[in-house]
């Protein structure tokens, strides 16, 4: 098994629900509020519902990744991925707060933290800065392609395959970065490629 976060989204290209395409950003609002309610830092302009500080402290001082934090972080990352996939038109499945077999995020086995370096949580955020810069470029391209896909899907009911590959790749890329620098579930530096 890979030491990277793996993201699976079942993208259906044909026979899409044209009625909901136009309203996606409005329809996703309740899920966004639900996700945001887990964050203590929304008022500071930074929203990360993932448990970072308790995990980093447990890894540094005890060499342990708490199982409750791993379960919580995994569930929230999957929910965020379901919401993102719906908002970016990758799926017509409304993002349920329960697991969806068509959208999954797989964490590598951390063996309770034994497979993770105790000191890397101190610098992962810094090491990830080049990844964030490349990720912003990917996100801008994915947003442009999503607007294009929104128009095409609204008219034809088919999601363009070229847009799907780039948008899906961008979601996978950001999940790898998030798993490395925020959820702290891998020490393997993520690839810059999609």
Q: How far is CA 109 from CA 19, 95, 106, 129, 193, in A?
A: 41, 26, 9, 25, 23
Look up the domain containing 152 and give its range: 6-181
> How remote is the C-alpha of 89 from its chain's centroid?
15
Overall number of domains in the chain:
1
Residue 45 domain-assigned (yes or no)? yes
Please indicate, yes or no, whether the overall pTM of this predicted structure exceeds 0.95.
no
C-alpha closest to that of 9 among 120, 192, 174: 174
Residue 188 domain-assigned (yes or no)? no
Residue 161 domain-assigned (yes or no)? yes
List Cβ neighbours of 128 (8 Å cut-off, separation of 6 or more): 177, 180, 181, 190
Please give the chain's pLDDT, 194 residues, in tens: 568 899 999 999 999 988 888 888 899 999 988 888 876 554 444 445 678 888 999 999 999 999 999 999 999 999 999 999 999 999 999 998 899 889 999 999 999 889 899 999 999 999 999 999 999 999 999 999 999 999 999 999 999 999 999 999 999 999 999 999 999 999 999 999 98
Torsion of CA 194, 28, 32, 163, to 10 degrees: 10
Residue 54 domain-assigned (yes or no)? yes
Residue 1 domain-assigned (yes or no)? no
65, burial (CB in 10 Å: exposed 0-12, middle 13-18, buried 19+): buried
Residue 189 domain-assigned (yes or no)? no
Residue 192 domain-assigned (yes or no)? no
Residue 186 domain-assigned (yes or no)? no
């Amino acid at each position: 098994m890979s030491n990277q976060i793996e993201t699976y989204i079942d993208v259906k290209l044909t026979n899409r629900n044209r009625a909901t395409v136009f309203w996606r950003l409005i329809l996703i609002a309740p899920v966004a509020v639900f996700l945001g309610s887990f964050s203590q830092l929304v008022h500071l302009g930074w929203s990360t519902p993932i448990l970072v500080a308790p995990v980093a402290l447990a890894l540094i001082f005890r060499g342990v990744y708490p199982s409750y934090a791993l379960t919580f972080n995994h569930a929230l990352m999957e929910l965020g991925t379901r919401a993102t996939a719906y908002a970016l038109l990758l799926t017509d499945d409304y993002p349920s707060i329960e697991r969806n077999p068509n959208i999954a995020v797989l964490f590598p086995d951390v063996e309770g933290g034994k497979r993770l370096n105790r000191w890397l949580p101190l610098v992962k955020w810094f090491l990830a800065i080049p990844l964030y810069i490349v990720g912003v470029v990917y996100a801008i391209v994915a947003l442009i392609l999503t607007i294009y896909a929104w128009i095409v899907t609204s008219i034809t009911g088919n999601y363009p395959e070229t847009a799907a590959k780039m948008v899906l790749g961008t979601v996978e890329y950001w999940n790898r970065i998030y798993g490395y620098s925020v959820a702290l579930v891998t020490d393997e530096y993520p690839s810059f490629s999609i």
